Chains A and B, each alone.
Chain A
Amino acid sequence: MDAWGRFRRNRLALLGLALVAVLATSAVLAPWLSPHDPARQSLIEKRAKPGGKYVLGADEFGRDILSRVIYGSRVALLVGLLSAAIAVAGGLVLGTLAGFAGGWLDAVVMRAIEILLAFPYLLLALAIVAVLGPGALNTTIAVGIWGVPAVTRIVRGAVLTLRETEYVGAARALGAPAVALLRRHILPNIVPGLIVYATLFMANAILLEAALSFLGLGVQPPTASWGLMVSTGRDVLLVAPHVATVPGLAIMVAVLAFNLVGDGLRDALDPRLRGSG
């Protein structure tokens, strides 16, 4: 059975895929799916409870939460996917370099990683915004860079272990070039774990973007981002919990979707599952 076949049989993974499709549709078809203009304010209807005119309620400006959640999927997908991609790409490169090459290269990369890890995240974000300006894309880059050290360490750890396994050792002894080794033996073993990490990282990424947008470093008003909606709903959490909770649940659904797909991919791609259940 091939990878796609295994994936197809996994019901949870299919559910995840369906949810991702809903998300993507939301993002693309936002203008047609939203019942109201997400930026239209109606102060008198502030914090309207869910039901009636505003299906999921209204925020502190009387804007329709459902419409803002639909539009917010754009920022969520951008932030979630792009930052995860940056973190994974950067981490893969640095991690394999460090783990495989060893020696002084490993030492240098690891020290740089340690510097980045100790560097306060807020400062990193402020610096990137100071240089590139505010906006969703730039905060996404900041979040992505922040994720690189973690992925590097995970990849390096895995590479170190796999490097010493018998069959890599054997392949090396037979004179296989490094690149081939990486491609055929090492990377396929790392990728599943990475996928799982990346899908979880997305939740973190969206929440980090929330904190940054709240500080004014991310999306600018009146753009809707789930993270920003959650942050601004904080003040009224005890009075009108739906304002923060609904976008929070949207974050959860998106993360769940990618997580299910990720786990499904992991299970499907695991080379050792061939021949087993």
Chain B
Amino acid sequence: MRSLPARIVGGVLVLGLVASLVGAATAQKRGGTLTIVRPTDPVSLDPNLETTAPGAWVYFNMLEGLLTLDDKMQVKPALATSYEVLSPTKVRFKLRPNVKFHDGTPFNAEAVKFTFDRALKGSPPARWASLAGSLDRAEVVDGLTVDVVTKEPYGPILRTLAMYCMGIVSPTAVQKLGQDFSRAPVGTGPFKFVEWKTNTHVIIERFNDYWGDKALVDRVIFKVVPEEGARMIALQTGDADMVLIPSPAQLPALRKDPKFTVHETTGIRVVFAGFHAGMAPLDDVRVRQALLHAVDRKAILDNIMEGSAGPALGVLAPGVFGYKDMQLDKVYPFDRARAKALLAQAGWTPGPDGILVKGGQRLSLSWLAARGRYPKDGEITEAIQAMFKEVGVEAKVQVLEWGAVFQQVRGNPLNHHMFTLGWVTSNADADYSLYALFHSKQVPPAGWNTSRYANARVDTLVEQARRSLNQTEREKLYGEVQDILAKEMVWIPVYTTKEIVVSRTGVKGFHVHPVEYNLALWKTWLDR
């Protein structure tokens, strides 16, 4: 018979063994195929030609830029290891050594220059060239050093270079494949391209010569399943491991279901009902403020978005550099009495059918919206239409197909009082939104100031902030812009998107990123 101390030691050893076995069971496993379903096929896998999510989701895993944005929205090195600001218009990047493209050719400064030339000076240039602001070119200093030059001092430069579509491409591959490159891109990322069957699936597989931590799964298949109901069923049957763009109505049940994991985080897109501030009666700030008070945003978030979106506290999303909480819920709470009082102050009195009138004119607004362009855009328009009616404002909604809406919204003049739109701050820098949306010279078709908002102080502030490289100063300037906007409100911000991905519990290691395009799959592994 063993002595007690011996038995204790033995017991501890056994426990230790068991513990290590359990630990090993939850350690990452390599291998397997991850099947993802999403609504549409990409148009192209070349970032120059495709900046929307279906393509970005795929090429984000195959191409890398100089910098990247992590899921805490901080700029981090990727293919560049360090940078140095040489002058207000020139930044020098030291590149990572010993990095190979999927086709075996080496990554170097030449490749960076090639990528920039192709994007900014190509024929035609990249789709995103217009949002690159004053980005001009990249100059080779030596094999692993490159200078990025801008035409004018450009404050957002780092975040712009960290964008999902700034991936460096292999010059050899571009020259060899020509136009076919858009169907089979070659980059330095943790996954490489395998196959694309149009309207059916795109397959990528682990790149074993990746410079960093190799991806854990062997392959990823992106399948196209346009019908939302069918996507959710595919998740249930196991035909799919992960669903992008899940059905909001099913989220409450899925969150409680141990077979599934709901990954969610606040995104960077704001969906709003915009006012044409140049068209009476919306040129009166009291009317606009009254309309803000008339909308019960919480009811919309709870019942239409059903937790699939977060509150819009301002015109920017949290996580965007320069974001300020405009405290809209405190400044413009849902308050019908206040709305009616403001409208009365502005000279509107109830008419015979309940709709307000002033000087013989009914308070009737024409409203342009699409259905399905942004999540629940048609539904929130209809809900707000009903809310307006409660305070005596009639909204004549025209729901048109996106092409028609886009045409009108991009055109000048705009013959509607209101429109439902969404806006994503693609480079997560306030400049991208505040300049394009609120600068007085950015009225369509030059820019996106669909509200026809004009404020000289705001113009000066956004111009200054764009040219300053001092990020603290920029933040202050943008703060002031948002303070001014909060008083003049030319939008009813309705919600900030949430990036939501639902997966089966066997899918581990996945983290959803606030930027919808940054679908990082290299840390994901399958426990099956």
Contact = CB atoms under 8 A, between A and B. Distances in A.
Contacts of A39: 386, 389
Nearest to B306: A46
Given A46-B303, A222-B382, A216 B371 contact: yes
Contacts of B194: none
Given A41-B386, A61-B386, A237-B229, A220 B299 contact: no
Interface in A59-80: 60-62
Contacts of B299: 43-44
A41 B383 contact: yes
A220 B379 contact: no
B371 A239 contact: no
B382 A215 contact: no
A235 B370 CA distance: 17
Contacts of B371: 214-216
Interface string A208-239: 00000011110011100000000010111111
A53 interface: no
Given A43-B303, A44-B299, A238-B232, A130 B383 contact: no
Contact of A216 (B233, B253, B304, B399): B399
A61 B382 contact: yes
Contact of A239 (B249, B379, B381, B399): B249
A237 B300 CA distance: 20
B184 to A, nearest CB: 31
Interface in B359-388: 369-371, 378-379, 381-383, 385-387
A87 interface: no
B228 interface: yes
B33 interface: no
A232 B249 CA distance: 13
A45 to B, nearest CB: 9
A43 B398 contact: no
A235 B228 contact: yes
Contacts of B341: none
B91 interface: no
Contacts of B397: 220-222
A221 B229 CA distance: 24
A61 B400 contact: no
Contact of A222 (B232, B385, B400): B385
A43 B382 CA distance: 11
A43 B304 contact: yes
A240 B389 CA distance: 27
Nearest to A62: B303
B250 interface: yes
A125 to B, nearest CB: 10
B142 interface: no
A216 B378 CA distance: 9
B19 interface: no
A256 to B, nearest CB: 27
A222 B397 CA distance: 8
B17 interface: no
Contacts of A61: 304, 379, 382-383, 386
A129 to B, nearest CB: 8
A24 B369 CA distance: 33
A39 to B, nearest CB: 7
A43 B400 contact: no
Contacts of A222: 382, 385-386, 397
A238 B250 contact: yes
B148 to A, nearest CB: 44
A40 B389 CA distance: 10
A262 interface: no
Given A221-B385, A221-B397, A60 B304 contact: yes
- Identify the interface centre among B228, B378, B382: most chain A CB within 10 Å of its CB: B382
A50 to B, nearest CB: 17
B399 A234 contact: no
Contacts of B249: 47, 235-236, 238-240
B401 interface: yes
Given A220-B399, A236-B249, A60 B229 contact: no
Contact of A234 (B229, B253, B296): B229
A62 B379 CA distance: 12
A40 B369 CA distance: 20
A134 interface: yes
Interface string B397-434: 11111001000000000000000000000000000000
A216 B386 contact: no
B155 to A, nearest CB: 40
A123 to B, nearest CB: 11
A62 B383 CA distance: 10
A265 to B, nearest CB: 38
A216 B229 CA distance: 21
B198 interface: no
Contacts of A237: 229
Interface in B210-247: 228-229, 232-233, 247
B420 to A, nearest CB: 12
Interface in A230-277: 232, 234-240
B398 A220 contact: yes
Given A235-B228, A236-B249, A221 B382 contact: yes
A41 B300 CA distance: 11
Contact of B398 (A46, A60, A134, A238): A134
A40 B386 contact: yes
A237 B249 CA distance: 10
Interface string B132-164: 000000000000000000000000000000000
Given A220-B397, A222-B382, A222-B386, A44 B229 contact: no
A7 to B, nearest CB: 43
Contacts of B369: 216
B247 A235 contact: yes
A239 B250 contact: yes
Contacts of B389: 39
B232 A44 contact: no
B383 A43 contact: yes
Contacts of A238: 229, 232-233, 247, 249-250
Contacts of B400: 134, 216-217
Contacts of A217: 400-401
Interface string B280-317: 00000000000000001001101110000000000000
Nearest to B368: A216
- Identify the interface centre among B378, B386, B387: most chain A CB within 10 Å of its CB: B386
A160 interface: no
A124 interface: no
A126 interface: yes
9 contacts: A43-B299, A43-B303, A216-B370, A216-B378, A220-B397, A220-B398, A221-B378, A221-B385, A234-B229
Interface of B: 228-229, 232-233, 247, 249-250, 253, 296, 299-300, 302-304, 369-371, 378-379, 381-383, 385-387, 389, 396-401, 404
Given A43-B383, A60-B379, A238-B249, 10 more contacts: A43-B296, A60-B304, A61-B304, A61-B386, A216-B378, A222-B385, A235-B229, A235-B249, A238-B232, A239-B247
Pick the 5 closest A-B CB pairs, nearest first: A216-B399, A43-B303, A41-B386, A239-B249, A221-B382
